[in-house]
Amino acid sequence: MQILGIDIGGSGIKGAIVDTEQGVLVGDRYRIPTPNTANPENVVAVIADIVHHFNWKGAVSCGFPTPFHNGKCLSGGNLHNTWKGVSVADFFKEKIGNDFTIVNDADAAGLAEIYFGAGKGVKGTVVMITLGTGIGSSVFLNGHLLPNTEMGHVLHTDGDIFEKFASDAVRKKENLSRSEWGKRLHIYFKHIELLLSPDLFIIGGGASKKLDKFKDQIHINTPLVAAKLKNEAGIIGAALAVLDHQKINS
């Protein structure tokens, strides 16, 4: 099956046709910068441009940077506060015409790793943590997704969320060395390990490329590995969400 997968991020919106049986892109990605004001009308215009670029008439699936409940945004995430309460799939279909599936962006990246990456075939609880502007999470039990977890929003001991203590953006803002950042991540992963007792942690986001520079500061019992699909995970995982939704509803 081929699906047009779209990864909606804070800086760019990227799309490509995905072969969901092989977990690979069919042709090149197409990227458009995320609008400075990323409200529903501006973002849907970019999505329409991507759909038209591929002359795509079939199903489209998007990884979206907000948590959802029954298909509606619980917040505006890093996009715009006017997304709160919007049923994104219905909104995109109304404006563009294609059938849409919408999945949280961290869940999309996790699906890609479970189907074709570091989590493929792993039994038990697998937790993917994406380290970037924020901290995203996806949680799987025997390959089945528990959607819309927000493990970056777990409270740190100082009363603030871990995302504001240990994200890659915080590392850059505070000019932390990799070793200093690794010590913060140790506190974070130790806490998540206590909460979920996972069998595997997968690190995604830009930080996954340099895991060897801070991994030795993270002293936990759970194996911790880098994601394999890198920059394509969001697009591939978005497309795979269609299959995942079909599996849930069958």
pLDDT tens digits for range 164-176: 999 999 999 999 9
67 pLDDT tier (thresholds 50, 70, 90)? confident
The amino acid at residue 174 is: E
Q: Are 202 and 118 in contact (CB under 8 A)?
A: yes
Q: Is residue 114, in this structure, part of any structural domain at all?
A: no
Residue 137 has pLDDT above 60, yes or no: yes
Q: Is residue 112, in this structure, part of any structural domain at all?
A: no
Q: Is residue 92, in this structure, part of any structural domain at all?
A: yes
Same domain, 19 and 89: yes
Same domain, 53 and 73: yes
Quick one: average pLDDT of 117-135? Answer: 95
pLDDT the model gives residue 246 = 62
Ordered strands of the 144-146 beta sheet = 144-146, 135-141, 125-131, 200-204, 224-226
pLDDT the model gives residue 19 = 97
pLDDT the model gives residue 247 = 61
Distance between CA atoms of residues 17 and 196, nearest Å:
35
Quick one: average pLDDT of 213-233? Answer: 94
pLDDT tens digits for range 68-95: 998 999 998 879 999 999 999 999 999 9
Q: For 6, left (φ over 0), alpha (ψ -120 to 50), or beta?
A: beta
230 vs 89, higher pLDDT: 89
145 pLDDT tier (thresholds 50, 70, 90)? very high
231 pLDDT tier (thresholds 50, 70, 90)? confident
Same domain, 88 and 164: no
Residue 249 has pLDDT above 60, yes or no: no
Q: Is residue 142, in this structure, part of any structural domain at all?
A: yes
Same domain, 32 and 125: no
β-strand partners of 4: 17, 60
Same domain, 139 and 193: yes
Q: Are 145 and 111 in contact (CB under 8 A)?
A: yes
Same domain, 148 and 184: yes
How many structural domains are present in the chain? Answer: 2
First to last CA, the chain: 17
pLDDT tens digits for range 147-193: 999 999 999 877 899 999 999 999 999 999 999 999 999 999 999 99
> What's the CATH number where 156 sits?
3.30.420.40
Residue 245 has pLDDT above 80, yes or no: no
Q: C-alpha dihedral over 208, 244, 121, 213, to 10 degrees?
A: 10
Same domain, 199 and 215: yes
CA distances from 224 to 5, 200, 218 (A): 28, 6, 9
pLDDT tens digits for range 42-59: 999 999 999 999 999 999
Residue 31 has pLDDT above 80, yes or no: yes
Range of the domain at 12: 2-107+231-249
